[in-house]
Amino acid sequence: MAISKQIQLAFTLCASLIASVQANTLDSAIIPQLQKPCSEITNNEKRLACFDAKSQQNKQKSLQKERRELEKATSDTPFIMQSYRPSYFLPLSYNPKQNPRDPNILFNSPKEGIGIDDVEVKFQISFKLPLAKNVLMENDVVSMNYTQLSFWQLYNKNASKPFRENNYEPEVMWMLDFDNKQPPSLFGLPIDSFGVSFNHQSNGRSNNFSLGWNRVIFHLMFSDKNWLIAFRPWIRMPGDHLKVHDTSTDHYMGKFDLSAAYKVGKHTFSTKLRNNLNTTKNKGYLELNWSFPLPVSQLKGFVQYSTGYGEALIDYNHKVNRVSLGFLLADWF
């Protein structure tokens, strides 16, 4: 069986990003000269080209570097939290085929005749708190991160407007940023930062709906002036609770996630892919996002399409096709 359309879409986006990198790459004859001071170049034309190239290089800061410079302005202030992953509030989120769980058990309600609405509110909040810097080497940071993804049946009056699912994701992360040194590259893409984290994700429930797992996640961030790619493969730790419900949970939740974003003016197009890399029984998750400016607000409009498995832990083995509309509170950059 061919690789799923989800992987094809993701690699198509990555290919366009790589093309953008190549289009903005400095002349190949000049790049070697940037490894040494321009003043040491004896050829007049090459020396002038070196100064011009370095000037242009300094102007084209990566999106993530610009974000980190803003973060450093508040890094010495205690208890200041910073944005981590995108945060958003989507008051209109439509999934025509909700997970057919027993609503009385799901909502812990004895009321008869209740159901699960197809339209609900989806929102995510995500932040990080830097704890220490320059721990192992220059420009590294240890932080405590937190992300919460929630699905709220706000319009379900018959069931007293309950939360269908909350996913809580605390994380401790070590991250090295290549800000003041020549960044390494992988497949021709400049590595913006590298890190490793211990990640716990659970839905905070008990009994049959209790779901959670622990992972060691490796972070690779590639970023330039108007795009970024974040690749996160992980190692799953033993002893989690997802195996209670399905011995092949990795078949649905995948082995990694790959996020990409491209900025065009004040618009941002982004995607997130998760996949199990199984060509015969391929399962995964795909998310497509578009954020755009609003004329009368500092917030941005946000449109999201999500399809596949594991959008929420309770839906890890249930396929969703969801369209959501709302507001972006904080972006990748």
Q: Quick check: is 200 catalytic?
A: yes
User: How far is it, in rounded angstroms, from Cα 123 to Cα 109?
Assistant: 24
Cβ partners under 8 Å of residue 21, min gap 6: 188, 189, 190, 224, 227
Q: How far is CA 259 from CA 14, 40, 264, 272, 279, in A?
A: 9, 41, 17, 4, 21
Q: Determine which one of 83, 150, 197, 202 is catalytic.
A: 202
Count the helices and strands in the chain (H runs, E runs): 5, 14
How many angstroms separate the Cα of 61 from the Cα of each of 50, 188, 229?
Answer: 18, 17, 15
The one catalytic residue in 20, 200, 251, 318 is: 200
Report the distance separating Cα 85 and Cα 147, nearest Å: 8
SS3 label, residue 62: coil
Diameter of the chain by CA atoms?
86
Q: Residues 79, 129: contact at Cβ < 8 Å?
A: yes
User: Cα(89)–Cα(125) distance, rounded to whole angstroms?
Assistant: 8
As to burial, measured by CB atoms within 10 angstroms (0-12 exposed, 13-18 middle, 19+ buried), residue 228 is buried
Name the strand (E) or helix (H) holding 128. Answer: strand 119-133
What is the torsional sign of CA 10, 291, 234, 17? positive
Report the C-alpha gap between 315 and 98 in whole angstroms: 9
> CA torsion angle for 86, 89, 92, 98 (degrees, to 10)?
70
CA dist 46 → 28, 41, 56, 325 (Å): 12, 7, 15, 52
Residue 208 in tokens: 């049959």
Active site residue 39: no
Which residue numbers are catalytic? 200, 202
